[in-house]
Amino acid sequence: MDLLERIRRKDAKVGVIGLGYVGLPLAVELAKVGFDVTGFDVDARKVGELNAGRSYIPDVPTAEVAEVVAAGRLHATTDMSGLAQMDVVDICVPTPLRKTRDPDMSYVIQAVEAVAKHLRRGQLVSLESTTYPGTTDELVKGTLEAGGLKAGTDFYLSFSPERVDPGNPTYLTRNIPKVVGGIDRVSTEVACALYGQVTTTVVPVSSTRVAEMAKLLENTFRAVNIGMVNELALMCHRMGIDVWEVIEAAATKPFGFMPFYPGPGLGGHCIPIDPFYLSWKAKEHGFEARFIELAGQINSSMPEFVIELVGEALNSVRKPINGSRVHVFGVTYKRDIDDLRESPALDILELLARRGSCVSYTDPYVPTLKHGKLSLTSVPEADALSRKPDCVVIATDHRVFDFAAIARDAPLVVDTRNALRGHAGAHLFRL
C-alpha cells in the first residue's frame, strides 16, 4: 500500500486543520520526526505567528516551532486549496455546544467540506475533534463520499480523539496513548501507522464509534465524579465539616478510591461540554442520561454557591454584596494557562457585577478581559492587595500568586481551590 509505506518512510505530506491547543502540538510533533506538515487555519493571526516561527500556545515552546519552520518542515496557510496536495489530513477543530446544549458541528462541517472539495484517491482523513458517537460514520463519511470516492476503497477514514491536557508538563502529545478507530481494518492500520510515528503508544479499537465513545467516557467520568464531590462540598458546608480534610483522609485508602476535588465550577473545552454530547446522542436513542445530566447541573451551579460564600464573608463584617469591592484572583479555567473557555471565574465576575459589586481581577495570563458587559484590565497582585478590597475570591490558583500575602493582607478571602491550606483566621472562607 503506497500511503502506508510513505507514512513509514515519513515521505507523506500531512495537513492539520485547526492550529489551536490540539492541532499545533500535533503539527509540531509530526514535523519534528521528519514529516512535511502544512497547518490550515481560518485565523490569519495564528498562520502569521506560526510562519514567523513563534508559538502562541504555552505548552509548545517557540524554540521547537522556530526549529521546524526554519528547517522547512512546517508552514501554515489560510488557503484550503492546499489540501489537494496532502497525503494525510488531520482535523482538529473546536466542537462547542450551542446555548440549547446541543452540539455545534459547524466547525467540523466547514473543515470536512473543505477536505471533500479537494479529496483525492489514496488520502487518509482523520478526525480528532471531540464529538458524539456516529459523527465519523454518519456526518464525515457521507460528506466525503458525496463526490464519488468511497471510504475504505478510494480513501481511508479514522477517528482518533485528542487527549490534550493544557498546562500539564508531564503528559504531552508524545507520551499520551493514542486511541485510533477506523471505518475499516485498513483505515485503522494506516491511521495507527501515522500516529505511531509521534506517540509512544497507539491503541487500536474496532470502530470509529468505539473511539468516539471512549473519549466521551473519559471526560464524563471526570465530570460525574467532580459533580459528586461538589455536591459533597455543599453538604459539608451545611454540616460544618471541612471537605478538603475529608478528601485527604479518604485518599489514604490504597484501593477503591480516587480523589477528586471540588471547585468553583467546571471549565475548559472538554469536561463541561463532552457529557452533554453524550446525553444529547443518548436522547436520539430514547435513553435519558439522568446521572450525567444531574452532575452537569451541580457543576454549573457552583458559581452561584461561590457568590453565597462571598455574601457570608461580607455579612460577617456587616457589609452587603451590593456596593462592595470584590477582587478575583485568577480567571482562567485552570492554573498556569491562559485559556478562558467555559471558565467559572467569568460567571463569578458576572454574577457579582449583577448584584452590584465593583469587580476587579488579577491574572498574569489574561492582561485584559471582556465578558458580557464587563471590560476589565488585570491589576498587579501587590496593587490589588494594597487597595484593600472588601473581599478577595481565589477562583484559579496560579502558582505565581503569593498566597501567604493574600491570606495576610486581604480583609476577607473566599478560597475556592484550597490554595490557603495551612492558613487560618476568621477572615478566611473555604469552599
* pLDDT greater than 90 at residue 99: no
The candidate with the shortest Cα–Cα distance to 35, out of 102, 91, 89, is 89
Domain boundary assignment for the chain:
2-206, 223-430
**Residue 94 DSSP label:** -
* pLDDT greater than 80 at residue 203: yes
pLDDT digits (tens, 9 = 90+) for 54-70: 999 988 999 999 999 99
For domain 223-430, which CATH number applies: 3.40.50.720, 3.30.1180.20, 3.40.630.10, 3.40.50.10070? 3.40.50.720
Q: Helix-strand-coil percent breakdown of the chain, rounded to 5?
A: 40, 15, 45
* pLDDT greater than 90 at residue 267: no
What is the per-residue pLDDT for 101? 72
Cα–Cα distance measured from residue 129 to residue 300, given in angstroms and rounded to the nearest whole number: 23
CATH superfamily for 2-206 is: NAD(P)-binding Rossmann-like Domain (3.40.50.720)
Note the pTM of the prediction, 2 decimals: 0.90
* pLDDT average, residue stretch 389-394: 98
What is the per-residue pLDDT for 113? 97
pLDDT digits (tens, 9 = 90+) for 168-190: 889 989 999 999 999 999 999 99
Is there a contact between 122 and 151 (Cβ–Cβ < 8 Å)?
no
Is there a contact between 364 and 330 (Cβ–Cβ < 8 Å)?
no
What is the per-residue pLDDT for 280? 85
* pLDDT average, residue stretch 265-284: 83
Percent pLDDT > 90 in the chain is 87
Give yes or no: 270 in active site: yes
* pLDDT greater than 80 at residue 102: no
* pLDDT greater than 80 at residue 266: yes
* pLDDT average, residue stretch 288-299: 90
Question: Which candidate in 92, 192, 236, 270 is catalytic?
Answer: 270
Q: DSSP per residue over 116-148, as a string?
A: HHH--TT-EEEE-S---TTIIIIIIHHHHHTTS
* pLDDT greater than 90 at residue 165: no
* pLDDT greater than 90 at residue 270: no
What is the per-residue pLDDT for 276? 81
Cα–Cα distance measured from residue 32 to residue 55, given in angstroms and rounded to the nearest whole number: 15
* pLDDT average, residue stretch 228-253: 97
CB-side neighbour CA atoms (13 Å) of 430: 21
Beta bridge partners of 370: 375
Lowest mean pLDDT among 89-103, 372-386, 394-408: 89-103
Alpha helices in 33-183 (DSSP H): 44-51, 62-70, 106-118, 141-145
Other Cβ atoms closer than 10 A to 104: 15
| pLDDT band per the 50, 70, 90 thresholds, residue 1 | low
| pLDDT band per the 50, 70, 90 thresholds, residue 283 | confident
* pLDDT average, residue stretch 386-399: 97
Cα–Cα distance measured from residue 383 to residue 275, given in angstroms and rounded to the nearest whole number: 40
Domains 2-206 and 223-430 alike in fold: yes
What is the per-residue pLDDT for 258? 96
Is there a contact between 414 and 393 (Cβ–Cβ < 8 Å)?
yes
What amino acid is encoded at 221 in this protein? F
